[in-house]
Amino acid sequence: MSEAYDVVIIGGGPGGYVCAIRCGQLGLKTAIIEKRGRLGGTCLNVGCIPSKALLHASHAYEGAAHHYADMGVEVAGVKLNLEKMMAKKDDAVDGLTKGIEFLMKKSKVTYLKGFGKIIGKNKVTATAEDGTVSELETKNIVIATGSEVAPLGDIKIDEEKIISSTGALALKKVPNKLVVIGAGVIGLELGSVWRRLGSEVTVIEYLDRITPGVDLEIAKGLQKSLTKQGMKFELGKKVTSAVADKKGVTLTFEPAAGGDATTLEVDAVLVAVGRRPYTDGLGLEEVGVEKDARGFVPNHHWKTNVDNIYVIGDATHGPMLAHKAEEEGVAVAEILAGKPGHVDFNNIPGVIYTTPEVAGVGKTEEELKAAGVEYKVGKFPFMANSRARANYETDGIVKVLEDKNTHKILGVHMLGVGVGEMIAEAGLAIAFGASAEDIARTCHAHPTMSEAVKEAAMAVDGWAIHV
Ligand code: NAI
- Indicate if 358 and 453 belong to the same structural domain: yes
Type of residue at 281: G
In angstroms, what is the span from residue 210 Cα to ligand 1's centroid?
Answer: 10
Question: What Rg value do the Cα atoms of the chain yield, rounded?
Answer: 24
- Indicate if 267 and 395 belong to the same structural domain: no
Among protein residues, the one whose CA lies closest to atom 32 of ligand 1: 320
For the chain, what is the domain count?
Answer: 3
Residue 157 within a domain: no
Which ligand 1 atom lies nearest to the CA of residue 165? 26
Ligand 1 contacts CB of residue 416 (under 6 A): no
| Phi, psi (rounded to 5 degrees) for 155 | -70, 125
Ligand 1, pocket-test mutation among 179, 185, 188, 326, most atoms within 8 A of CB: 185
List the strands of the sheet with 409-416, edge to edge: 350-352, 357-362, 409-416, 397-403, 375-381
In angstroms, what is the span from residue 243 Cα to ligand 1's centroid?
Answer: 21
Ligand 1 contacts CB of residue 212 (under 6 A): yes
Ligand 1 contacts CB of residue 273 (under 6 A): yes
- Indicate if 104 and 252 belong to the same structural domain: no
Q: Which of 378, 416, 419, 422 lies closest to 394, judged by CA?
A: 416
Helix, strand or coil, per DSSP, at residue 247: coil
Residue 366, domain CATH: 3.30.390.30
Ligand 1 contacts CB of residue 68 (under 6 A): no
Residue 311 within a domain: yes
Give the whole-angstrom CA distance, residue 139 versus residue 449.
Answer: 49
In angstroms, what is the span from residue 274 Cα to ligand 1's centroid?
Answer: 4
Q: What is the pTM of this model?
A: 0.97
- What number of other Cβ atoms are within 10 A of residue 418's Cβ? 20
Ligand 1 contacts CB of residue 204 (under 6 A): yes
Residue 373 within a domain: yes
Which ligand 1 atom lies nearest to the CA of residue 352? 41
444 in active site: no
| Structural domain boundaries enclosing 380 | 350-460
Residue 342 within a domain: no
CA torsion 334→339→343→344, rounded to 10°?
-160
Residue 155 within a domain: no
Residue 467 within a domain: no
Give the whole-angstrom CA distance, residue 163 versus residue 269.
Answer: 6
Residue 411 within a domain: yes
- Indicate if 205 and 61 belong to the same structural domain: no
In angstroms, what is the span from residue 371 Cα to ligand 1's centroid?
Answer: 25
In angstroms, what is the span from residue 150 Cα to ligand 1's centroid?
Answer: 9
Is it true that the peptide bond before 447 is cis, omega within 30 degrees of 0?
Answer: yes
- What number of other Cβ atoms are within 10 A of residue 188's Cβ? 26
Q: Among the three residues 250, 273, 296, which one is the final residue of a domain in this structure? A: 273
Which ligand 1 atom lies nearest to the CA of residue 322? 40
Q: What per-residue confidence (pLDDT) applies to 361? A: 99
Give the whole-angstrom CA distance, residue 57 versus residue 61.
Answer: 6
- Indicate if 50 and 90 belong to the same structural domain: yes
Neighbouring-strand partners of residue 348: none
Annotated catalytic residue within 67, 301, 342, 446: 446
In angstroms, what is the span from residue 184 Cα to ligand 1's centroid?
Answer: 4
Cβ proximity of 188 and 226 under 8 Å: yes
Q: What per-residue confidence (pLDDT) applies to 3? A: 61
Among protein residues, the one whose CA lies closest to atom 8 of ligand 1: 184
Q: What per-residue confidence (pLDDT) applies to 1? A: 47
- Indicate if 188 and 245 belong to the same structural domain: yes
In angstroms, what is the span from residue 271 Cα to ligand 1's centroid?
Answer: 9
Ligand 1, pocket-test mutation among 43, 271, 273, most atoms within 8 A of CB: 273
Ligand 1 contacts CB of residue 203 (under 6 A): no
Residue 35 within a domain: yes
- Indicate if 399 and 440 belong to the same structural domain: yes
- Indicate if 241 and 304 belong to the same structural domain: no
- Indicate if 257 and 113 belong to the same structural domain: no
In angstroms, what is the span from residue 273 Cα to ligand 1's centroid?
Answer: 5
Ligand 1 contacts CB of residue 242 (under 6 A): no
Kind of pairing, strands 133-143 and 309-311? parallel
Residue 166, domain CATH: 3.50.50.60
- Indicate if 208 and 302 belong to the same structural domain: no
Cα separation values, 380 from 138, 367, 385, 442, Å: 54, 21, 8, 16
- Indicate if 264 and 281 belong to the same structural domain: no
Q: Among the three residues 290, 312, 336, which one is the final residue of a domain in this structure? A: 336
Ligand 1 contacts CB of residue 187 (under 6 A): yes
List the Cα angle 268/269/274 in 5-degree steps. Answer: 150
- The H-assigned helical ranges of 180-274 are 185-196, 216-228
Per-residue pLDDT for the chain (467 aa), expressed as one digit of tens each? 456 999 999 999 999 999 999 999 999 999 999 999 999 999 999 999 999 999 999 999 999 999 999 999 999 999 999 999 999 999 999 999 999 999 999 999 999 999 999 999 999 999 999 999 999 999 999 999 999 999 999 999 999 999 999 999 999 999 999 999 999 999 999 999 999 999 999 999 999 999 999 999 999 999 999 999 999 999 999 999 999 999 999 999 999 999 999 999 999 999 999 999 999 999 999 999 999 999 999 999 999 999 999 999 999 999 999 999 999 999 999 999 999 999 999 999 999 999 999 999 999 999 999 999 999 999 999 999 999 999 999 999 999 999 999 999 999 999 999 999 999 999 999 999 999 999 999 999 999 999 999 999 999 999 999 99
Ligand 1 contacts CB of residue 179 (under 6 A): no
Ligand 1 contacts CB of residue 353 (under 6 A): yes
- Indicate if 13 and 142 belong to the same structural domain: yes
Ligand 1 contacts CB of residue 351 (under 6 A): yes
Q: Among the three residues 273, 288, 323, which one is the final residue of a domain in this structure? A: 273
